[in-house]
């Protein structure tokens, strides 16, 4: 039994080795100047607001008098909203910031009705060697928006605080 396992292992090594005997190529290493390409935040049936470290804002609700985050794109996609029985709960709100500045960003979630929901946060570096995403569960309602903080670094994004009621 042990002999057949050893022979099987040796055969596997022989079959998976490149024909010229060289070793597999090393894993690509991110360039020294790799930086954060984008950060995106999305949620269904809500309005989102993203507040940058310098106080600039991006919002899916519009109408904000505050300066807008440079290279940000806020949008709302509502498939089937105009059909009979369609509601805003089917709408997906999203904010994408290209080449965000490093620092803490506050994500504010507004909802027209009391509910628990999931907000998705995604990010990638310029080289695309590092990328990721995570979900944050929040509770929001009319007059009671919820907020949490994400930290953007040169090579990634992480959640800094847990969701809590937003107080401007």
Closest CA to 147 of 161, 127, 158: 161
Assigned domain for 42 exists: yes
Q: Tokens representing 30? A: 């991110």
Assigned domain for 26 exists: no
Mean pLDDT for all residues in the chain: 83
Q: CA 157, 34, 31: angle at the middle one, nearest 5? A: 135
Examine the pLDDT at 147 and tell me if it is beyond 90.
Answer: yes
* pLDDT band with cut points at 50, 70 and 90 for residue 143: confident
Q: E strands within the chain?
A: 36-44, 47-51, 57-59, 72-77, 92-98, 103-110, 115-125, 131-140, 146-153, 156-159, 164-165
Assigned domain for 29 exists: no
Counting residues of the chain whose pLDDT is more than 70, the rounded percentage is 74
Assigned domain for 25 exists: no
Domain count, the chain: 1
Assigned domain for 53 exists: yes
Assigned domain for 119 exists: yes
Assigned domain for 54 exists: yes
- pTM assigned to the model: 0.76
Assigned domain for 8 exists: no
Examine the pLDDT at 159 and tell me if it is beyond 90.
Answer: yes
pLDDT at 150: 97
Range of the domain at 133: 34-165
Per-residue model confidence as pLDDT tens digits over 1-51: 666 666 665 555 655 566 665 665 556 666 777 889 999 999 998 999 999
Per-residue model confidence as pLDDT tens digits over 106-136: 999 999 889 999 999 999 999 888 899 999 9
Per-residue model confidence as pLDDT tens digits over 66-122: 789 999 999 988 876 555 655 555 789 999 999 999 999 999 999 988 999 999 999
Residues 6+ apart with CB under 8 A from 73: 58, 95, 96, 97, 98
């Amino acid at each position: 039994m042990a002999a057949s396992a050893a022979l099987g292992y040796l055969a596997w090594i022989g079959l998976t080795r490149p024909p010229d005997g060289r070793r597999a190529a090393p894993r690509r290493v991110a360039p020294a100047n790799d930086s954060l390409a984008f950060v995106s935040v999305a949620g269904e049936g809500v309005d989102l607001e993203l507040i940058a470290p310098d106080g600039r804002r991006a919002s899916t609700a519009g109408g904000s008098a505050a300066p807008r985050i440079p290279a940000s794109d806020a949008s709302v996609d509502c498939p089937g909203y105009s059909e009979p029985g369609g509601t805003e709960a089917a709408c997906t709100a999203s904010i994408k910031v290209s080449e965000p500045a490093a620092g803490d960003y506050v994500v504010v979630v507004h909802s027209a009705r009391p509910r628990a929901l999931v907000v998705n946060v995604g990010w990638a570096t310029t080289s695309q060697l590092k990328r990721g995403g995570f979900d944050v569960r929040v509770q929001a309602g009319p007059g009671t928006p919820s907020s949490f903080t994400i930290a953007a670094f040169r090579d990634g994004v992480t959640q800094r605080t847990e969701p809590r009621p937003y107080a401007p």
